[in-house]
Amino acid sequence: QSGLTQPPSASGSPGQSVTISCTGTSSDVGGYNYVSWYQQHPGKAPKLMIYEVTKRPSGVPDRFSGSKSGNTASLTVSGLQAEDEADYYCSSRGVSGNVMFGGGTKLTVL
């Protein structure tokens, strides 16, 4: 049950776009369209931002978008805003119905 691989950090200036990657294997990210992305501010519980690779829950700005190619999923944040500064985690269904998370990416808005 190895975790998914994310870059430890990412950054961008206000108004710019930034993309965070999430790399797994054909047994998780590549095998299912059950990739989710979560935003976590310090001291707070995570918040679901993207599910099933590309879908946004109600209330999540359309500046947040998801995609997948092969064993790598990506989260793109467009039009960066100060409040987007947070930790972001991907997750995927794994074998046997388990779930696995990525190690997390700290997004800094410069």
Partner 1 sequence: EVQLVESGGGLVQPGGSLRLSCAASGFDFNIHYMTWVRQAPGKGLEWVAKITPDGSAQFYVDSVKGRFTVSRDNAKKSLYLQMNNLRAEDTAVYYCAKEQWFRTDYWGQGTLVTVSS
Sign of the Cα torsion 36, 38, 85, 82 reads: positive
85 versus 87: smaller Cβ distance to partner 1: 87
> What are the structure tokens assigned to 30, written together?
């590549």
CB of 24 to partner 1, least distance (A): 13
In the complex, minimum distance from the CB of residue 40 to partner 1, in angstroms, rounded to a whole number: 8
Secondary structure E strands in 1-110: 9-12, 18-23, 35-40, 47-50, 64-69, 72-77, 86-93, 99-101, 105-109
C-alpha 62/C-alpha 79 separation (Å) is 10
Of 45, 62, 82, 110, the residue at the interface with partner 1 (CB under 8 A) is: 45
Instruction: Please say which residue, 15 or 55, places its beta carbon nearer to partner 1.
Output: 55
Q: Which residues are at the interface with partner 1 (CB under 8 A)? A: 1, 3, 32, 34, 36, 38, 40, 45-48, 51-52, 57, 87, 89, 91-93, 96-104
